[in-house]
């Protein structure tokens, strides 16, 4: 028996255009807010001279890494190399996009992860949505992001947010669910309210797992910079894309090296922030 095709794509297209037509005012507010956030982070980062910024980040890596001198020196040299390659401004634009996307993903993702840990029903509803967000090719949701927000950093940030948020939710949920039952029983025995138990017992116990989610969120945000550049996001990702378009191996490699340096620095710092 031959069944007619279910027009899922048509339904999605109708929904996207309905949102654009009827909720355009809300999309404009969101676009302005996100654009302001990205620009604010970028302007703040560019305020620092490259040498001062490199010293500050190296100091941060040193102290978060339990006074690991090799990590601090490597961080400092890596940032100076970015400056030497004349990629500093582009790197700060990339860093502002990553920080903005990761910050928003954490602000949304951690509370959702807590709710998922507290309610099996909510987690079961959320799980297929997370599966969709993680497995859907990122090029697919670039299209509605482009329709809603046009070219620029904002649609790139939205696409990055969709890609980077699921690990935060999943690992927050996992961390809280893995808190030993004995700790919860002790908190209940002392008459703790649900909020006190969450803040003083469950979150501290789950912090290593939650921080792993933070690390993954930041890494995934950084991995999206080249794809986000396809819809107008600026920074090192756009430089890599430009190198691909011109078949300029040197240009693409230098920009890619800048992304690698930022990724390693962010990875080491966030890993060291996690309690052992």
Q: Tell me, what's the pLDDT at 2?
A: 60
pLDDT tier, 241 (very low <50, low <70, confident <90, very high otherwise): confident
Q: Tell me, what's the pLDDT at 20?
A: 81
Contacts of 237 (CB under 8 A, 6+ apart): 94, 224, 225, 226, 227, 228, 229, 255, 259
pTM: 0.86
Residue 140 or residue 158, greater confidence: 158
For residues 187 and 182, what is the distance between their CA atoms, to the nearest angstrom? 9
> Tens of pLDDT along 198-220?
888 888 889 989 998 998 998 88
- Degrees (nearest 5) of the Cα angle 110, 131, 99? 40
Write the class of the CATH domain 8-47+85-273: mainly alpha
For residues 206 and 198, what is the distance between their CA atoms, to the nearest angstrom? 10
For residues 99 and 201, what is the distance between their CA atoms, to the nearest angstrom? 28
Average pLDDT of the chain, as a whole number: 87
Q: Tell me, what's the pLDDT at 76?
A: 93
Q: How many CB atoms lie within 10 A of CB 78?
A: 20
pLDDT tier, 88 (very low <50, low <70, confident <90, very high otherwise): very high
pLDDT tier, 275 (very low <50, low <70, confident <90, very high otherwise): low
Residue 1 or residue 270, greater confidence: 270
> Tens of pLDDT along 164-189?
899 999 999 999 999 888 888 888 88
pLDDT tier, 124 (very low <50, low <70, confident <90, very high otherwise): very high
For residues 114 and 97, what is the distance between their CA atoms, to the nearest angstrom? 26
- The domains of the chain are located at 8-47+85-273
Stretch 94-118: mean pLDDT: 92
> How far does Cα 231 stand from its chain's mean position?
17
């Amino acid at each position: 028996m031959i069944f007619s095709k279910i027009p899922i794509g048509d339904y999605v297209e109708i929904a996207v255009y309905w949102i654009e037509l009827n909720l355009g005012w809300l999309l404009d507010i969101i676009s302005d807010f996100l654009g302001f956030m990205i620009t604010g982070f970028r302007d703040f980062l560019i305020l620092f001279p490259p040498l001062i910024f490199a010293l500050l980040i190296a100091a941060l890596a040193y102290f978060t890494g339990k006074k690991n001198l090799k990590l601090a020196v490597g961080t400092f040299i890596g940032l100076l190399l970015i400056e030497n390659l004349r990629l500093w401004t582009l790197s700060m634009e990339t860093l502002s996009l990553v920080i903005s996307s990761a910050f928003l993903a954490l602000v949304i993702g951690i509370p959702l992860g807590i709710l998922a840990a507290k309610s099996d029903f909510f987690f079961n509803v959320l799980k297929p949505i997370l599966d969709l967000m993680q497995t859907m090719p990122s090029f697919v949701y670039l299209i509605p992001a482009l329709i809603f927000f046009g070219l620029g950093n904002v649609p790139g940030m939205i696409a990055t947010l969709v890609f980077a948020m699921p690990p935060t939710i999943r690992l927050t949920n996992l961390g809280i669910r893995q808190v030993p039952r004995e700790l919860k029983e002790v908190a209940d025995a002392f008459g703790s309210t649900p909020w006190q138990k969450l803040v003083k017992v469950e979150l501290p116990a789950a912090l290593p797992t939650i921080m792993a989610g933070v690390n993954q969120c930041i890494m995934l945000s950084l991995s999206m910079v080249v794809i986000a550049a396809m819809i107008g996001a600026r920074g090192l990702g756009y430089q890599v894309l430009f190198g691909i378009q011109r078949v300029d191996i040197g240009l693409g490699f230098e920009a890619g090296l800048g992304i690698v340096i930022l990724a390693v620095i962010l990875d080491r710092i966030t890993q060291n922030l996690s309690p052992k």
